[in-house]
Structure 1
Amino acid sequence: MTLDTHQSVYREKLIEHLFIGELLKLSWLRHAATLEVSHGLIDRSGHDLVLEVAGIVRHVQLKTSASSSATASQKIHLGLCAKPSGCVVWIQFDKASLALGPFPFLGGAPGEPLPDLTACKVARHSKGNALGHKAERPNLRVVPRSGFKRLESIEALYSAMFGYDG
């Protein structure tokens, strides 16, 4: 068992903290430290973070994978569609250095809701029951990589989320 699989929760939280740090650093350096960050205590409707800048509130579901990973899709919670400016940020990272980017993004313009995902394939549990049946997860949809807009930098992501240039 590798560190990647044995310590996956550790790595996921590490990537989340690095990501928040990059957003806060950008806000500090270019946007008068206006970014506010909140964590939800319970992940009931699919978001991990709530980010706010100048009245734009983003409920953000985070996904992570190594840049070298062949991950072809992500499971997205439908509850995120009901949130104002809900979005998904797929943080890709370099396994050797943990450098972040690119950032595939799924979401509308600032102030706009997440696109309707009900036409996407219904997700299934990854593990089967005693009979091997993998039950549907009706509140989750499978969104292929092609459904995300690839953003190369944290600056491009910040702009897509909050409407700032550079």
Structure 2
Amino acid sequence: MLAELHHDPLTPHSRASHIREQALLHLFLGQLMAARWQQGRHDIEVLTSEVDRGGYDIVLEANGILRHVQLKSTFSGSSVRHVTVSTRLLEKPSGCVIWLEVDQRTLAFERYFWFGGQPGARLPDLGSKVSRHTRGDSSGQKLERPLHRDLGKACFERVDSTEELLARLFG
């Protein structure tokens, strides 16, 4: 059994999920900044949230556009078909959700998925499917999370390049 754990590729992802999330954030920002640099644009600003309360992970500003961004990630080939999105993101100017699909072994980005409006526009409606906690309470019941909505992958648009993602973010 122990030998199986060492060969299970998901084990490090479970044990070190916070490290994985930080690595993906830094890799994502590096790709955005490099693509912006290649465009001859050096005006991108990045702010990170210390507290996960506002519904976003980072704030990006470029071209005079301010974007509150919630990042989500899954592995390529994953069976995950929805993500949980905070309704607080609706209150932010130009809120958006970027779903990163990454290689499980290398964390390389394979594709992006986008949910958001035009630069300067508010986040589109999140629908009415209220999210539930992933763990049950003491009785095993998974309670609702009233400030979160489940958003299916079908609501997202596939984005094929970092340059296309930059255009969606900042025009």
Give the TM interval when normalised to the shorter protein: over 0.9
Q: Quick check: 1:61–1:87 contact (8 Å CA) kept in 2?
A: yes
1:20: Cα distance to partner? 0.3
Cα distance in 2 for partners of 1:60, 1:13 equals 15
Cα RMSD between the aligned structures? 1.1
Q: Quick check: 1:101–1:153 contact (8 Å CA) kept in 2?
A: no
| Equivalent residue number for residue 60 of structure 2 | 51
Q: How many aligned residue pairs are there?
A: 162
Cα distance in 2 for partners of 1:158, 1:120 equals 29
1:136 aligns with 2:136: no
Cα distance in 2 for partners of 1:16, 1:141 equals 22
Using the size of structure 2 for normalisation, the TM-score is 0.91
Counterpart residue identity of residue 131, structure 1: S
1:3: Cα distance to partner? 1.1
Cα distance in 1 for partners of 2:131, 2:155 equals 15
Which segment drifts farther, 2-11 or 83-92? 2-11
Q: Quick check: 1:120–1:143 contact (8 Å CA) kept in 2?
A: no
Specify every segment of 5 or more residues in structure 2 that has no aligned partner in the other structure, as ranges.
6-10
Cα distance in 2 for partners of 1:4, 1:32 equals 35
1:86 aligns with 2:95: yes
Could you list the runs of 4 or more consecutive aligned residues of structure 1 that deviate by over 3 angstroms after TM superposition?
Answer: none
Q: Which of 76, 79, 86 is the aligned partner of 1:67?
A: 76
2:85 is paired with a residue of what secondary structure?
strand
Cα distance in 2 for partners of 1:155, 1:96 equals 25
Cα distance in 1 for partners of 2:114, 2:40 equals 21
Using the size of structure 1 for normalisation, the TM-score is 0.93
Label 1:80 to 1:31 Cα distance change in 2 as closer, same or farther (>3 A).
Answer: farther
Cα distance in 1 for partners of 2:44, 2:64 equals 10
Counterpart residue identity of residue 145, structure 1: K
Cα distance in 2 for partners of 1:133, 1:16 equals 33
| Equivalent residue number for residue 11 of structure 1 | 20
1:153: Cα distance to partner? 1.3
1:31: Cα distance to partner? 3.8
Specify every segment of 5 or more residues in structure 1 that has no aligned partner in the other structure, as ranges.
none
Counterparts of residues 84-163 of structure 1 (less than 5 Å): 84-117=93-126, 119-163=127-171
1:51: Cα distance to partner? 0.2
2:109 is paired with a residue of what secondary structure?
coil
Cα distance in 2 for partners of 1:31, 1:157 equals 16
| Equivalent residue number for residue 76 of structure 1 | 85
1:102 is paired with a residue of what secondary structure?
strand
1:46 is paired with a residue of what secondary structure?
coil
Counterpart residue identity of residue 144, structure 1: G
1:56-77 deviations in Å (ceiling 9; x for gaps): 0000000011112111000000
